[in-house]
Amino acid sequence: MPDTPTDTTIAPPTVLILAITACPTGIAHTYMAAEKLDAAATELGYEIRVETHGSVGVEGTFSQADIDRADAVVVAADTQIDLSRFGGKRMVSTRVSDGIHRPAALIAEALAAAPTGRAAVTTDAPASAGKRDIGGFIYRALMNGVSYMIPFVVVGGLLIAISLSIGGEATPQGLVIPEDSFWFTINQIGVLGFTLMVPILSGFIAYAIADRPGLAPGMICGWIATTGSFYNSESGAGFIGGIVTGFLVGFVALGIKKIPVHRFIKPIMPILVIPVITTLVVGGLFVLALGQPIAWVFSSMTDFLSSLDGGSVVVLGLILGAMVAFDMGGPINKTAFLFGSALIASGNPGPMGMVAAAIAVPPLGMGLATVIRRRFFTPVEREAGIAALFMGFFGITEGAIPLAAARPLQVIPANVLGGAVAGAIAAIAGVTNAVPHGGPIVAVFGAVSGVPMYFVAILSGVAVTALVSVLLIGISVRKVVPADAAAAAPIGTAADAAVPVAAPGAAASAVSPVAAAPVLAAPAAAEPVAPAPKTVLDYIDERTIVLDIDETDRDAVIRRLAGLMQTTGRVLDVDAVVQAAMDRELISTTGIGEGIAIPHAKSDGATSPVLAFARSRDGVDWNSLDEAPAHLIFMIAVPEAAAGTEHLKVLAQLSRSLMKPSFRASIEMAATPADVLAALASSVRPATPAAH
């Protein structure tokens, strides 16, 4: 085990990381997080094995030998994961989105975590999520319920759609299936799937909080929530009631589990005492006090939506469409989806028509953008765009996430505008959808009314997203190399003068002709030369090196280094870079121990990656893992869009160098900035032996 594990630590390949990824739908986030963690571990020099809990089941299951050998475990999941097999291991547990957006940091946090102890890890209490992450714990419990509910929703909805499209007969009241028809039976099976939807949601929310003792009470109380006759209501409390019963059951069961009992009673607690008492307490509370008020809220909301027309329904379509497109499968998206799904069962399929149209817009729109403006995107992004087109057809909003993660400031606003347009047009046209799903695929099954306008809504939203995203990306590309920055002296070696400067929107390995401007003009007839692989030396020069600083405060050192970066022309907004570095320190310290700190800032205040170095004889308190002051401080600033490539590569190179005692000694003894550069050169670009 390394003594100073951080997000920059490079360990020998013998260090093994185990990772688990899971998302509520088990389609996109699960595998994206797995890929990101695998890539980050490989970049940092670790061996990693990833177990995915996806829609097709668990893949890549760890053997006991893997678990015994593992140095740390990363769990990036929005569903309930049984962690009992990892007792005694260093572990970090967080949301699946963190696995996508900061995989290297998760690996570092796992290696830095204290061992859990040899007792089995429990997953039945909020403490397992950490007191600092109670919001994350509640979110994961809710998403656990959603993940188990979705198969019931999809199966039930598709069976209803198939039965209506094949066996339905047109009447003034809509499609009706004759009761003596085979398709009526299929329709009833689909209705059963819908009926089980809320009890499953409630049961698995409770299961995520209290483990198995909460499952049966959660489902029973969830059924009570949907059955208004229990509390003298004409309508049930719907999915809102199911969420309430799920959390009530979970926390009541958890509280009962913590009551100390005699050892003879303990074996029957989880199978008899806890389920019975919890069911009586929560079921009774819901019947006597909570059921009618929640049912009134739900029925009032349904009545209000059913009565909407004219401008009001347009507003509803705008809001639902924007919510669906905003976080592409996240909690805001799921809220709008559950809202539309629940109203289908209440006899109002209109909102689901708005949601269904908007669901396809982000992946189809961004996929189209990569086709119409290929030069704005890297090869990897163009491949992601093709995949997004395919996923968009099947209503998988998560298909746009890879493109949104690379350019959030350009892609997310475009998605929201396109989704809002699609939702509004579907609302105006009165499109309805009898299936809790979206995209063109539901029209194929005949679940959508007003199919022509449904496609008009989708295509209009896709066009808005594609055009707005291309416009915003084009603006960001043109702003990357302003005249004053282009006139600044290049950083690094003289060879940099003839190499185009990569735009933040492009990957480090691919420079778009639109996204770059040459510092010096090359002869017109010259053949283009592929840029050499970047190293640390391409981002630092004597202007960004200061020896024996007087500052003793961490924040003052960060501001000093950001000021040095500004002199190169690669940082235009010092305050933004400083703030980004401070925000990173709030997540976890960048003091990696042994007198080293590597603060880093991902901010569009930087136009391209830049590195600065400061040496402190007295040391700076950096809250390092070993509590030692930092004497050698390297600060990195990268644009937001370049962070996923340049950022990790620079950190990896620095880490490899800083793990060498000889390199640390050489920069500690450096008399001038040129000596620091020479030490870096010998470390990252070893000299070749002289010919004899």
DSSP string, 553-582: SHHHHHHHHHHHHHTTTSBS-HHHHHHHHH
* Dist CA 305 CA 196 (whole Å): 24
Q: 601 to each of 42, 574, 610, how far by Cα in Å?
A: 22, 11, 10
182-210 vs 215-226: helix axis angle to the nearest 10?
Answer: 130
Q: Which residues contact 310 (CB under 8 A, 6 or more apart)?
A: none
User: From the CB of residue 394, how many other CB atoms can be counted at a distance below 10 Å?
Assistant: 17
DSSP string, 362-375: HHHHHHHHHHHTGG
* Dist CA 156 CA 164 (whole Å): 12
Candidates 622, 611, 554, 619; CA nearest to 588 is: 622
* Dist CA 152 CA 182 (whole Å): 21
Q: List the catalytic residues.
A: 23, 600
Supply the Cα-derived Rg of the chain in whole angstroms.
28
DSSP string, 105-171: HHHHHHHHSPB--SSPPP-SSGGGG-GGGHHHHHHHHHHHHHHHHHHHHHHHHHHHHHHHHHH-EEE
Q: 417 to each of 240, 346, 427, 460, how far by Cα in Å?
A: 28, 29, 15, 11
Distance of CA 256 to the CA centre of its chain: 34
Torsion sign (Cα): 92, 97, 99, 103: negative
* Dist CA 165 CA 185 (whole Å): 14
- The values of phi and psi at residue 294, to 5°, are -70, -40
Candidates 268, 131, 264, 277; CA nearest to 214 is: 277
* Dist CA 633 CA 349 (whole Å): 59
Q: SS3 sequence, 59-77?
A: ECCCCHHHHHHCCEEEEEE
User: From the CB of residue 84, how many other CB atoms can be counted at a distance below 10 Å?
Assistant: 12
117: left (phi over 0), alpha (psi -120 to 50) or beta: left
Task: Please state whether beta strands 545-546 and 57-59 pair in parallel, antiparallel, or not at all (unpaired).
Answer: unpaired
State the number of CA atoms in the 13 A half-sphere of 567 facing the CB: 13
Tokens found for residue 688: 């070749």
User: From the CB of residue 488, how many other CB atoms can be counted at a distance below 10 Å?
Assistant: 14
